Amino acid sequence: MVKNENKREILEIMENIKKKIAINNLINSIFLIVGLLSTFIGLFVLFILFVDLFTDGYPRLSYKFFTSFPSRNPSEAGILSAWVGTFFLMIVTGIFSIPLGISAGIYLEEYAPKNWLTNIIEINIANLAGVPSIVYGLLALGVFVYFFKFGESILTGGLTLSLLILPMIIMATREAIRAIPDSIREASYAMGATKWQTVKWHILPYSIGGILTGIIIGLSRAIGETAPIITVGALTFIAFLPTSPLSGEFPFISFNWLFDPFTAMPIQIFNWVSRPQAEFHVNAAAAGIVLLIMTLIMNGLAIYIRHRFRKKIKW
Amino acid sequence: MENIEADVKNLNFYYGDNHVLKNNNLKIAKNKITALIGPSGCGKTTFLRCFNRMHDLYPNTRYEGEIILYPEEKNIISQEIDPIEVRMQISMVFQKPNPFPKSIYENVAYGLRVRGINKREMLDERVEKSLKSAVLWDEVKDLLDKPAFNLSGGQQQRLCIARALVTDPRILLFDEPTSALDPIATGRIEELMIKLKEEVTIIIVTHNMQQAARISDFTGFLYLGEIIEFSNTQQIFTVPKEKLTENYISGRFG
C-alpha cells in the first residue's frame, strides 16, 4: 500500500513538472519571436534608409561630382573641397589623437598606481566619451579659436575632433592591453626587463590589433561629426582647396594648409539639404552615399585588422 | 653544507597587513636542488617569489629580513638593490608554461635582447646552447621561426626553461613547473632539472611530494608561512624530526 501511494505521488509530481516545462518552453518561444522581430525591424529600417539614399543620389554620382567645387548651379556642384577638407581634417585628428590616446592608455594600464586619483581619472575618461559633441565644439571655440587664435582653420577643426575621439582611443587601448594575461608580463619582468622594455616588446605588439580597431572606429565617428566643426566655424561654401602641403620650391613642405578655412563632407551635406531646391537634395543624397561608403570602408578595415591580429596571437 | 649560494635570514613577508611569511631561515646550497613542499596556501610560492623580487611588481607588499647572495654577501631583498639587477641573475620558470606569442627563437633570445645584445651570431650561438641545455634543440632546430604556441605543453615548458637559462643565471626558480603537464612530460622535466644542477642552483616549489623526494637534495616543509623543518631530502622523508612534517608526508593532511 505504502509503495502504491509513493508511486502515485511521483506520477503527480511528474505531471506537474511536464506542465511547467511546457509553460517554460512557451515563454522561450515567445521571446524567440520577439527577439527575431526586433532584429528584423532594426535591419529593415537600415535597409530602407540605404535604398532610399541610393535611389535618390546614385544618378548624381560621377567623376565630375568628385572634382567640382560647390556651385550655385546644382548640376555643376561637386564635393571636391568637402572630401579634401575631410581628408586633411582626418590627418590632423589622427596626428594628435593617436599618440596621445595610446600613451595615455598605456600609462593608465601599466604605469599608474591604483589609487583614488587614478580611479577619478578613469571615471572621467569614461564620462568624456559620453559628452555631447557640440559641447566639444563650444570648448574648442573658446580655447582654439579665441584663446590660441588658430582661427576657423583645419587645425582647429582637427584638434576639436581629436578631443572628441581621444577618450575612445584611450578606452580601446586600455581594453586591448587588459586582454594580455599577467603571466606574459611576469615572464618578461622575470627576465630582467624594465617596464618600458615590456611595453615595447610585448604590451604594444600584442595589443596593437585592438588599438588600431579603436582608432579606426574613432576616426569613422569623427568623419561624420557635424556639430562641433560647425561650431568652430567650418564654412559651408568653399570654392578653393587648402594650400598644398608639398611645393616645388624650398623648403618643399608647407604647413600653411593648417590655417586655411575648410569645409567637410557632413557640412556640405547639411548645406545642400537646407537649400530649397530639390536638385540640391539629390546632391546631398549623393554626398551621403560617398560619406557612408567612406565610413563602411573604415569599419570594414577595423574588422579585418581585428580578425587578422586575433588569429596571430594566442595565449 | 659545503657551498652556500644564498642564505635566508629572518625572512618576513607582508601583503598589506597580512603576515604571509614568518621569520624563515634557510640555506640554499650551490649546485643542488632545494625543494619547498607544503599544503596549498602555506606560502611556498610567495617564498620563492622573494628570490627574484616578483612581489615588487604589485602594490602593498613588504619584505623584512635578508636573503644574502654569496660570495658577494649582497642582500637581494634590500630596497637599495634594484629588483631588475636581481632578476638578471636569478631566473624563473612558472607554473603554467607562458611562452611569448613570438617565434621559438625570439622566446629564447628575449633575455639577451633585454640586456641589449642584438648581434646575430651571438644570439644564434646562445640560443642554440640554451635550447641544447633544455634538451629541446633536436625537436625544434628546424622550427626556430615558428610560433612557440605550436609546441606541446611539455615542449613549451622546456622552452621556458631555455628562455630562463639563456642569460646564465646563478639560481633558477621553479614554481610547480610540472603541475600542468602529463606524467611523461613531467618525467622529462625532472630529468632535465637533475642534469641542470651542474650548471645552476635550483629552488623548486612543488605540491607533489614524490617529485621532491625524487629530485631534490634538500627539502623544506612550510606550514602556515613558517618553515617547520629543513634538512636533506632523504632525512626528511625517512626520519622527519617534527610531528607535523611526518603527518604531512605520510598524507594525513595536505
Nearest chain B alpha carbon to A115:
B59
What is the strand order of the sheet B33-37 is part of?
Answer: B90-93, B171-175, B201-205, B33-37, B218-223, B226-232
Interface confidence (ipTM) of the complex: 0.93
Beta-carbon contacts below 8 Å between A and B: 60
Domain boundaries B1-83+208-254, CATH class: alpha beta
What per-residue confidence (pLDDT) applies to B21? 95
Q: Is the pLDDT of residue A247 over 70?
A: no
Nearest CA in chain A to B108: A191
Q: Angle at Cα A146 formed by Cα A141 and Cα A152, nearest 5°?
A: 60
Question: Domain of A214: which CATH number?
Answer: 1.10.3720.10
pLDDT(B1) > 60: no
Domain with A52 in it: 2-58
Does A112 contact chain B (CB < 8 Å)? no
Q: Identify which of B59, B87, B164 has the shortest CB distance to residue A189.
A: B87
Cα Dmax for chain B: 57
Q: Residue ranges of the domains in chain B?
A: 1-83+208-254
How far apart (Å, rounded) are the C-alpha atoms in residues A80 and A282?
Answer: 16
Cβ neighbour number for residue A299 with a 10 Å cutoff: 14
In the block, residue with C-alpha cell 579665441? A146
The most distant pair of C-alpha atoms in chain A lies apart, rounded to whole Å, by 111
pTM: predicted TM-score of the whole model, two decimal places: 0.84
Contact predicate B27/B7, CB 8 Å:
yes
Banded model confidence at residue A194, pLDDT cuts 50, 70, 90:
very high
How far is the first Cα of chain B from the last one, in angstroms, to the nearest whole number? 29
Reduced 3-state DSSP string for A274-300: CCCCHHHHHHHHHHHHHHHHHHHHHHH
> Does residue A284 sit in the same domain as residue A192?
yes
Q: What are the cell numbers at A241? A: 582647396
Q: What phi, psi does A191 have (nearest 5°)?
A: -85, 5
Q: Is the same domain home to A298 and A210?
A: yes
| Interface contact A189-B100, CB threshold 8 A | no
A190 closest CB neighbour out of B54, B101, B149? B54
**Closest C-alpha among A241, A236, A219, A234 to residue A287:** A236
Show the beta-strand stretches assigned E in chain B.
4-15, 18-29, 33-37, 61-69, 74-75, 90-93, 171-175, 201-205, 218-223, 226-232
A236 confidence band (pLDDT: 50, 70, 90): low
- pLDDT digits over A71-97, tens only? 888 888 889 988 999 999 999 999 999
One domain for residues A51 and A80: no
Residue type, A178: R
Q: Which residue has the higher pLDDT, A129 or B160?
A: B160
Higher pLDDT, A243 or A186: A186
Asked if A94 and A138 sit in the same domain, the reply is yes
Per the prediction, chain A carries an average pLDDT of: 89
Interface check for A315 against chain B (CB to CB < 8 A): the answer is yes
> Chain A closest CA to B33's CA: distance in Å?
20
Helix (H, G, I), strand (E, B) or coil at B239: coil
Give the pLDDT band of residue A240 (cuts 50, 70, 90): confident
Lowest pLDDT segment from A65-74, B53-62, B116-125: A65-74
Radius of gyration of chain B (CA): 18
Q: Measured between beta carbons, which residues in chain A are less than 8 angstroms from residue B171?
A: none
Report pLDDT for B213.
94
Average pLDDT score over chain B: 93
Any alpha helices (H) in chain A, and if so which ranges? 2-57, 63-67, 80-106, 116-128, 133-140, 154-178, 182-190, 195-198, 204-224, 227-231, 265-273, 278-312
C-alpha cell at B206: 612543488
User: Which of A25, A40, A58 marks a domain boundary?
Assistant: A58
Set of cell numbers at residue B51: 628570490
Cα A160 to Cα A92: distance, rounded to the nearest angstrom: 10
Interchain CB distance below 8 Å, A190 and B92: yes
Exposure string over B213-227, b if 16+ CB within 10 A, otherwise e? bbbbbbbbbbbebeb
| Chain B positions in Cβ-Cβ contact with residue A190 (cut-off 8 Å) | 52, 54, 87, 91-92, 94, 164
pLDDT at A16 > cutoff 60: yes
pLDDT score of B2: 66
What are the CA-CA distances from residue A168 to residues A108, A163, A214, A232, A300 (Å)?
A: 14, 10, 7, 21, 18
Q: In whole angstroms, what is the distance from residue A72 CA to residue A94 CA?
A: 33
Alpha-carbon distances, residue B120 vs A244, A305, B105, B124 (angstroms): 45, 31, 11, 6
Q: How far apart are CA B227 and CA B38, in angstroms?
A: 9
Q: With contacts defined as CB-CB under 8 Å, which chain B residues touch A191?
A: 87, 91, 110-111, 114, 163-164, 167
Instruction: Identify the residue with better confidence: A312 or B26.
Output: B26
Query: How high is the pLDDT of residue A77?
Result: 86
Contact present, B93 and B174 (Cβ < 8 Å)? yes
CB atoms near residue B52 (< 10 Å):
25
- A146 and A40 in a single domain? The answer is no
Do residues B174 and B96 touch, judged by C-beta distance below 8 A? no
Beta bridge partners of B19: B14
Total structural domains in chain A?
Answer: 2
Three-state SS for B37? strand
Q: How confident is the model at residue A1 (pLDDT cuts 50, 70, 90)?
A: low
The verdict on A28 and A120 lying in the same domain is no
Q: Are residues A129 and A12 in the same domain?
A: no
Predicted confidence band of residue A239 (pLDDT cuts 50, 70, 90) = confident
Residues A135, A225, single domain; the answer is yes
Output the pLDDT for position A177. 95
Last residue of one domain, picked from the residues A58, A82, A99: A58
Flag whether residue B130 sits within 8 Å of chain A, measured between CB atoms.
no
Q: Which of A184, A193, A312 is opposite residue B114, by nearest beta carbon? A: A193
Single residue among A12, A36, A58 that ends a domain in this structure: A58
Chain A 195-254, CB below 8 Å of chain B: which residues?
197, 201-202, 206
Same domain, A38 and A169: no
B84 CB neighbours in chain A (<8 A) are 192-194
Closest Cα of chain B to A287: distance in Å? 44
Spatial CB neighbours of A119, under 8 Å, sequence gap ≥ 6: none
Other beta carbons within 10 angstroms of residue B59's beta carbon come to 11
Helix (H, G, I), strand (E, B) or coil at B75: strand
> Which residues have C-beta within 8 Å of that of residue A57, sequence separation ≥ 6?
A282, A283, A284, A285, A286, A287, A288, A289
Phi/psi for B34 (5° steps) reads: -110, 125
User: Do A227 and A253 belong together in one domain?
Assistant: yes
Are A46 and A152 members of one domain? no
Interface test with A, best of B87, B110, B130, B146 (most A CBs within 10 A): B110
Residues A15 and A126 in one domain: no
Write out chain B residues lying below 8 Å of A315, CB-based.
Answer: 101
Distance CA B18, CA B61 (A): 9
The C-alpha cell at A203 is: 604590451
Q: Which of A117-121, A231-235, B147-151 has the lowest mean pLDDT?
A: A231-235
Cell of B207: 605540491
* Three-state secondary structure call for residue B122: helix
Point out the residue among A113, A192, A206 whose CB comes nearest to the CB of B111.
A192
Determine the Cα–Cα distance for residues B150 and B134; give it in Å rounded to an integer: 18
**On the CB side of B243, how many CA atoms lie within 13 Å of its CA?**
0
Tens digits of residue pLDDT in A121-156: 989 998 988 899 999 999 999 998 889 988 888 899
Find which of A114, A117, A118, A191 to mutate to test the B interface (most B CBs within 10 Å of its CB).
A191
Q: Do B84 and A206 touch (CB under 8 A)?
A: no
Q: Which residues of B touch A310 (CB under 8 A)?
A: none
Closest CA to A180 of A209, A213, A207, A201: A207
Instruction: Give pLDDT, residue A2.
Output: 58
Given a cut of 90, whether residue A44 has pLDDT beyond it is yes
Q: Which residues of B touch A111 (CB under 8 A)?
A: none
Contact criterion met (CB < 8 Å) for A190 and B59: no
- As a whole number, mean pLDDT of residues A178-204 equals 95
- Distance, CA of A112 to CA of A104 (rounded, Å): 10
Q: Give the pLDDT confidence of B18-67 residue by residue, as tens digits.
A: 999 999 999 999 999 999 999 988 999 999 999 999 999 998 999 999 99
Q: What percentage of chain A exceeds 70 in pLDDT?
A: 96
- Chain B closest CA to A125's CA: distance in Å? 24
Does the beta-carbon distance from B101 to A187 stay under 8 Å?
Answer: no
* Subunit contact B87:A187, Cβ cutoff 8 A: no
Q: How confident is the model at residue A260 (pLDDT cuts 50, 70, 90)?
A: confident
Quote the pLDDT of residue A248.
66
Which of B227, B236, B178, B210 lies closest to B10, judged by CA? B227
